[in-house]
Amino acid sequence: MQSPVSDVGLMSVPDPGVLLRHWGSAYVAYNIASGDTHQLGVLAGCIIEHLKTRAMTRTELLGKLGPDESVNSEQFFQMLDNTLSDLQNMDLITVHQA
Amino acid sequence: MIVTDYPFEKIRRKLAGAGLYLNIGGFVSHIRSDIDLVAEGIYQLYAGAPILDADCFADFHIALKRPTNHRRWLKPQVLFSFDDFVPFKPLPYAQAFALLEWGLNWCISTHAQQFLIIHAAAVEKSGFTAILPAPPGSGKSTLTAGLVSRGWRLLSDELTLITQAGMIQPIARPISLKNRSIEVIRDFAPDAFIGKVVTDTIKGTVAHMRAPADSVARVMEPAAPGWIIFPKFVADAPARLESAERSYAFIELAENAFNYSLQGTEGFLRLGNLIDCTEAHHFSYGNLEEAVAMFDQLARSKLNASS
């Protein structure tokens, strides 16, 4: 499955970075540039954790989220793209045009 | 020397003259006022507060006076000023002491930027602090007054100050009781001193309860955080404590903080560290005795777990 988010190329957290804390499966993210704080679910939190290490494409991100069946379903792809879109709207990820 | 080491008349004269240097919860306030309601309020409700020398450093230079316009002959009012700056519109004269209290809250919340300041009450027992953030009408001050009447130490009724080291800095000041809670506390704690009742304020009917003497005396002893508890008064409901998500507690505290955004990264880190070392709960109650018993139980459990 393809989505607008998946087409655009490399994703990263915006400069100068995003701070992340988590308690159990709930995350709180702080955008250093904007000063905004967001409460995130587990998938969004994991995405930010991975993108904090380096910029990644959607395919690379999928590989990091796990090789198992659960991340290989159309339902998951949809959820991932919705989450990436939400994170982009919150300015927690930046998409670099290919 | 504390306030009641002096006769009332001397305190009144100091206030009306060069001013009184009062250590109010660790902040030195230089207060000037020729209004008797202010002098009476300070004498009764800050009875145990230390008085300092007139040449000492003051954090806040405050004055409460009557405006000099023609309205003073029609409807007497009182004006609060800080360093000769007037941050609020004047209020009816009868609200002079309440205005001092609200003005002090404003002074601390806008100037004490060394702390992360959360709009919440804080009470301590057995070395652990319960932070009680809640919107108006949730029963926060009633619960706080009830707890400190039964052995909990008052750290603050209104502003929880988090230090860089993650401790809670006490500012034991009078507890602001509103509307029905005034009678509830009179019944619950007949020995507590409650000052003049003032009606028709923006918060309804207001009266202040004096902070316990022990809390005032220990104002320079910071306390470790233990719990973040979101209280809610529900008429006739049994006391009930439920776990809250820590991420929810984080967001609620950030929204209830006066200077979280101003502190930027430091605010995020300080709040995160606070959440790391506390339990978060929702707490509903309809009966103050039950509420205090449940808090006592919580303190005993924490003490047992830490020993």
Query: Is residue A21 less than 8 Å (CB to CB) from chain B?
Result: yes
Query: Is residue A15 less than 8 Å (CB to CB) from chain B?
Result: no
Q: In terms of Cα–Cα distance, which of B165, B157, B120 is closest to B257?
A: B120
pLDDT of residue A4: 42
What percent of chain A has pLDDT above 90? Answer: 68
Residue for token pair 């008064």: B233
**Is the per-residue pLDDT at A3 higher than 50?**
no
A56–chain B nearest CA distance, Å: 25
Q: In terms of Cα–Cα distance, which of A31, A55, A28, A50 is closest to B275?
A: A28
Mean pLDDT of B244-251: 96
C-alpha B219/C-alpha B82 separation (Å) is 24
Res. B213 pLDDT band, cuts 50 70 90: very high
Mean pLDDT of A62-75: 78
Query: Is residue A24 less than 8 Å (CB to CB) from chain B?
Result: yes
For residues B179 and B70, the model is more confident at: B179
Q: Environment class of residue B122 by beta-carbon count within 10 Å: exposed (0-12), middle (13-18) or buried (19+)?
A: buried
For residues B289 and A68, the model is more confident at: B289
With beta carbons less than 8 A apart as the criterion, state whether B130 and B226 touch.
Answer: yes
pLDDT digits (tens, 9 = 90+) for B73-129: 678 899 999 998 999 999 999 999 999 999 999 999 999 999 999 999 999 999 999
For residues B294 and A74, the model is more confident at: B294
C-alpha B307/C-alpha B126 separation (Å) is 11
| Contact criterion met (CB < 8 Å) for B265 and A21 | no
Q: What is the model's pTM?
A: 0.92
**Is the per-residue pLDDT at B143 higher than 60?**
yes
C-alpha B82/C-alpha A9 separation (Å) is 56
Residue A17: closest CA among chain B residues belongs to which residue?
B265
Comparing CB atoms, the residue among A23, A27, A32 nearest residue B265 is A32
Mean pLDDT of B148-165: 97
CA atoms within 13 A on the CB side of B295: 35
Mean pLDDT of B13-39: 95
Residue B278: closest CA among chain A residues belongs to which residue?
A23
Res. A69 pLDDT band, cuts 50 70 90: low
pLDDT of residue B134: 83
C-alpha B288/C-alpha B184 separation (Å) is 9
